[in-house]
Amino acid sequence: MVSRAVTQLYDDVMRPSGLRVTQFSILGTIARMGEANLRQLEDTLAIDQTTLTRSLNLLERGGVIERVPRPDGRIKAMRLTSKGRRALEVARPLWAQAQAKVLHELGTTAWTDTQRRLTHLFQVAAKKRRLGRARRRVQPLARSRIEARKLSRAVGRS
């Protein structure tokens, strides 16, 4: 509930840029990295793949990012277009205005404490996400071993 209210505050202030705060975060991350693939963006922003893919598709349709084929042909990276760089330039001062509003309401001490706690929460969530992803990759292999043992026992009994 709180995150929605804060997101709405930023979205309202940033409306003239045509970007939502989540899109701004994605564009800012791509700008910092130069190019980024889906996995890099997922890990950096801690956004689930479905939400991120939907946002990237919207940004691509809007002409602010483009997909760049990689030499191996498998993983495509995203990079900003000139339109994307301009959108980011327009959005940055608006984001700063929204940030100033939040700082004014909370005060710098409360903001610093909030930022520290949220950073910790983000790190815990990102770690749990990485562990979950690793577990999902291992599970199919473990399942196939269990199924192989069952099959081996069944064949041994006949």
The whole-number pLDDT of residue 98 equals 93
Largest CA distance in the chain: 77
Q: Looking at residue 125, what is its pLDDT?
A: 80
Residue 137: its pLDDT value, please?
61
Bin 139: left if φ > 0, else alpha if -120 < ψ < 50, else beta.
Answer: alpha
What is the rounded CA–CA span in Å between residue 31 and residue 22? 14
Tokens of 103: 């700082």
Q: Return the pLDDT at 56.
A: 94
CB 121 within 8 A of CB 28: no
Mean pLDDT by 10 residues, the chain (158 residues): 84 93 95 92 87 93 90 81 95 94 87 88 80 65 61 62
Q: Strand (E) positions, the chain?
A: 36-37, 65-69, 76-80
Give the three-class secondary structure for 32.
helix
pLDDT at position 82: 96
